[in-house]
Amino acid sequence: MSRPSLPPNVVIFGRPGSGKSSLAERLATEFGYLAVRTGEFLREAVQRQDFVGRRVAQALARGELVDDELIVNLLRGNLPDHPTDRLLFDGFPRTLVQAPLLGDIESEKGFKIGLFLEIAVSREVAIARMSGRRVCPACGATYHLLNQPPRTPGHCDVDGSPLEVRRDDSTEVIRQRQDVYDRQTMPVVLYYGVHDPDRFHAVNGEQSMDAVLADAREAIRNATAPSG
Ligand code: AMP
């Protein structure tokens, strides 16, 4: 059989701090995916302060999930009918209610997911990564105490402002987001791993970014790209 030339439509899973979104961005650029990021749709709605934005602002700040119905409607509204681009879902599905609804959306919109990709990172590593993040309140530059420290400890390289911990990176919110992932999203990941092993692949997300990217790239190349 000849190798399919199109990459498969992908769903990417990973706990907060797994590097999932940076990886999704790199894969989208490399393979030409249309990235579908529910978190980004929500943050844009909060910025606009529209009806959805006002409803979800608090949940986002607390690290809780927003309700399933709202997310599914938001997704339906943002996805083209019969997408011509290959899709990469970053942030959906996140609950056992959303998982079967993805199947409905696939039928309605005429596409099929070919790969469920987990970026596997332990809770402890994820918390350590997130706890080290710092941001400059003046210019928005971001740092990491371990991976990308500022030249002068505690101060921005660009303008010297004292660095801060982002509000959604407070210890309490970090733990809350990990709890939400363990309780609500991990069962979804396990579900696909058990019930759909042919379309499921986990990569070790505790390696360097380049190694994770190489493994993810290989998983995409090995996955069958179904037509549609
Ligand atoms: P993310 O950028 O994917 O980490 O998403 C940021 C936040 O948006 C999450 O912490 C949730 O509060 C919310 N969110 C994003 N996607 C979903 C989803 N599929 N279901 C429920 N809440 C979501």
pLDDT score recorded for residue 228: 44
Active site residue 48: no
Active site residue 134: no
Nearest ligand 1 atom, CA 177: 10
Nearest ligand 1 atom, CA 180: 10
Query: Does the beta carbon of 46 sit less than 6 angstroms from any atom of ligand 1?
Result: no
Nearest CA to ligand 1 atom 22: 65
Through-space distance between the first and last CA atoms of the chain, rounded to whole angstroms: 18
Q: Is residue 14 within a helix (H) or strand (E), and if so which, with residue range?
A: strand 9-14
pLDDT score recorded for residue 61: 83
Q: How far apart are CA 114 and CA 75, in angstroms?
A: 19
Distance of CA 204 from the midpoint of ligand 1 (Å): 22
In percent, how much of the chain has pLDDT > 70? 96
Active site residue 20: yes
Between 3 and 33, name the one with better pLDDT: 33
Peptide bond preceding 153 in cis form (omega within 30 of 0): no
pLDDT score recorded for residue 198: 94
Q: Map tokens 């179904």 to a residue.
A: 226
Nearest ligand 1 atom, CA 16: 4
Residues 168-209: tens digit of each pLDDT = 788 888 999 999 999 999 999 999 999 999 999 999 999 999
Q: What is the mean pLDDT of the chain?
A: 92
Number of Cβ within 10 Å of residue 1's Cβ equals 4
Residues paired with 210 in a beta bridge: none
Q: Map tokens 């302060």 to a residue.
A: 49
Query: Does the beta carbon of 180 sit less than 6 angstroms from any atom of ligand 1?
Result: no
Active site residue 133: yes
Residues 46-73: tens digit of each pLDDT = 999 988 899 899 888 888 899 999 999 9
pLDDT score recorded for residue 225: 57
Active site residue 109: no
Q: Is the pLDDT of residue 3 over 60?
A: no
Residues 142-164: tens digit of each pLDDT = 899 988 899 999 999 999 999 99
Stretch 215-219: mean pLDDT, rounded?
Answer: 97
Of the candidates 15, 20, 37, 86, the residue annotated as catalytic is 20
pTM of the model: 0.89
Q: How far apart are CA 221 and CA 188, in angstroms?
A: 23
Q: Is the pLDDT of residue 223 over 80?
A: yes
Q: Is the pLDDT of residue 1 over 50?
A: no
Distance of CA 104 from the midpoint of ligand 1 (Å): 20
Query: Does the beta carbon of 60 sit less than 6 angstroms from any atom of ligand 1?
Result: yes
Q: How far apart are CA 200 and CA 190, in angstroms?
A: 10
Query: Does the beta carbon of 36 sit less than 6 angstroms from any atom of ligand 1?
Result: no
Residues 95-130: tens digit of each pLDDT = 999 999 999 999 999 999 999 999 999 999 999 999
Query: Does the beta carbon of 56 sit less than 6 angstroms from any atom of ligand 1?
Result: no
- Among 21, 42, 47, 74, residue to substitute to test ligand 1 (most atoms within 8 Å of Cβ): 42
In three-state secondary structure terms, 78 is helix
